[in-house]
Amino acid sequence: MKFGLRSMSIGALALLAVVSAGHAQMQQFSSSSLDEGGEAAGTAIAAPAGNTHVANRFEMHSNSLPFEYGAIVQGGVGLTEERSGFKFIMAGVHAGKVLYSHDKPGLLRGNFEYAMELFPYWQSYTPKFQRANCVAGPLLGGITCSPYYTVGGTFTGVTATPIILRWNFTGHGRIVPWAQAAGGVLWTDHKYPAFGSPTLNLTNDGPNTDASVWNFTPQGGVGIHYFLSPTRSIDFGANAVHISSASLGDKNPGVNASVQFNIGYTFWK
């Protein structure tokens, strides 16, 4: 976990650097708006100091379909009893395009966005345990096994989520909530998660009892964009993620449920 915490810290520092750059560009945006906006800019400046409303990218033009991209850091834990010791950390990029806007008043006022994510850095920290490789023995019902060896521990990989279907709920000023459903794929440097049992038997430790380096990651989540300016936002999200090989390996131990939280910084065009 020390390595994971150090990696998380590096990711957080990188994200803070991006945020600082975003603030500088936001100030430049405000200055140029003052020069070009004339009376409109002057009116905005004259607004009461307590007015915290800042137009988000969706409100700049009612018929616009913006594009967004940015950096994202995500981490979480397994939820079920057998996976409560699992921990996750990842860092990558996010991009999306608004395809449809629904501007009529009501609960569903907002827009539909198609997005993708790529995490070239992905790690999962899992409990270690002992297993052996066993085959049927010469005696009926007997088994012959290798010495015990350790499995589990840290897994490293790459994950991509090429299908993200997101609805942004607009009309809330700085804060734009969203909900999404998504599907992705995960590759790990060795078969994930580890399978086997210290109580030796052919079902858990016999031939063809490995998992797979390929897994699928169906997921769903909610979150918010917090707009620092009409073209910059800090994003917070929470996803429920299922990990399954769909029986690509001999066994499919998977991770039935995990909760993963993310923070990102986004540029809107």
pLDDT digits (tens, 9 = 90+) for 162-186: 999 999 999 778 999 999 999 999 9
Query: Mean pLDDT lowest for which of 91-105, 148-162, 253-267?
Result: 91-105
Strands (E), the chain: 67-78, 87-102, 110-131, 134-136, 143-145, 149-169, 175-192, 212-216, 219-229, 232-243, 255-268
- Quick check: 253 pLDDT over 50? yes
Mean pLDDT, residues 179-206: 94
Pairing of strands 255-268, 143-145: unpaired
Residue whose structure tokens are 């909610």: 222
CA distance 215 to 184: 9
Which stretch of DSSP H or E encloses residue 39? Answer: helix 39-45
Distance of CA 210 to the CA centre of its chain: 27
The reported pLDDT for the residue numbered 261 is 99
Compute the average pLDDT of residues 108-128: 97
Greatest Cα pair distance in the chain: 94
For β-strands 175-192 and 219-229, DSSP reports them as antiparallel
Tell me the per-residue pLDDT of 228-240, one tens digit each, with 9 for 90 and over.
999 999 999 999 9
Predicted confidence band of residue 145 (pLDDT cuts 50, 70, 90): very high
Beta bridge partners, 234, equal: 226, 265
Q: Partners of 240 in the beta sheet?
A: 220, 259
pLDDT score, position 108:
87
Among 31-45, 139-153, 185-199, the least confident range: 31-45
Alpha carbon 181 to its chain centroid, in Å, reads: 12
20-58 exposure pattern, b = at least 16 Cβ within 10 A, e = fewer: eebeeebeeeeeeeeeeeeeebeeeeeeeeeeeeeebbb
Residue among 233, 253, 235, 234 at smallest CA distance from 245: 253
Least confident of 59-68, 73-82, 110-119, 243-252: 59-68
Average pLDDT score, the chain: 83
Q: What proportion of the chain, given as a percentage, has pLDDT over 70?
A: 78
pLDDT value of residue 173:
85
The pLDDT, as a whole number, for residue 55 is 63
Q: What is the predicted pLDDT for the residue at 99?
A: 97
* pLDDT given at position 6: 47
Task: Give residue 61's pLDDT.
Answer: 61
Compute the average pLDDT of residues 199-203.
90
C-alpha–C-alpha distance, residues 12 and 263, integer Å? 9
pLDDT (average), residues 134-141 = 83
pLDDT for 208 beyond 80:
yes
DSSP 76-121: EEE-SGGGTT-EEEEEEEEEEEEEEEE-SSSTT-EEEEEEEEEEEE
CA distance 132 to 65: 56
pLDDT for residue 147 is more than 90 = yes
Q: Which CATH architecture has domain 2-268?
A: Beta Barrel (2.40)
Please enumerate in sequence order all residues whose Cβ is within 8 A of that of 125, keeping only pairs 6 or more positions apart, or say none. 1, 4, 86, 87, 88, 89, 153, 154
